[in-house]
Amino acid sequence: MPHAAVWTLRETLIVAVLGAVFGVLYLGWVQVWLIAQALFGAVTMDVVMGFWFIVSIIAAGIIRKPGVALVSEMLAAAVQILLGSPAGLLLLLTGFVQGAGAEAVFAATRYRRWSLPVLMAAGVGAALASFAYTWMRFDYGNLAPGLLAAMFVLRCASGALLGGLLGHLVIRALYRTGVLSGLRIERDLRAAHA
From first to last of the 194 residues of the chain, give the pLDDT tens digit: 444 689 999 999 999 999 999 999 999 999 999 998 888 887 888 999 999 999 999 999 999 999 999 999 999 999 999 999 989 999 999 999 999 999 999 999 999 999 999 999 999 999 999 999 999 999 998 999 999 999 999 999 999 999 999 999 999 999 999 999 999 999 888 887 76
CA–CA dist 6, 11 (Å, integer): 10
As a whole number of Å, the CA-based R_g of the chain is 17
Which CATH number fits the domain 3-188, given the four candidates 1.10.1760, 1.10.10, 1.25.40, 1.10.260? Answer: 1.10.1760
Pure H helices in 41-144? 44-48, 54-63, 68-82, 90-108, 116-138
Asked whether the beta carbons of 117 and 159 are under 8 A apart, the reply is: no
CB 148 within 8 A of CB 131: no
- Torsion sign over Cα 105, 106, 110, 113: positive
Q: What pTM, to 2 d.p., does this model score?
A: 0.94
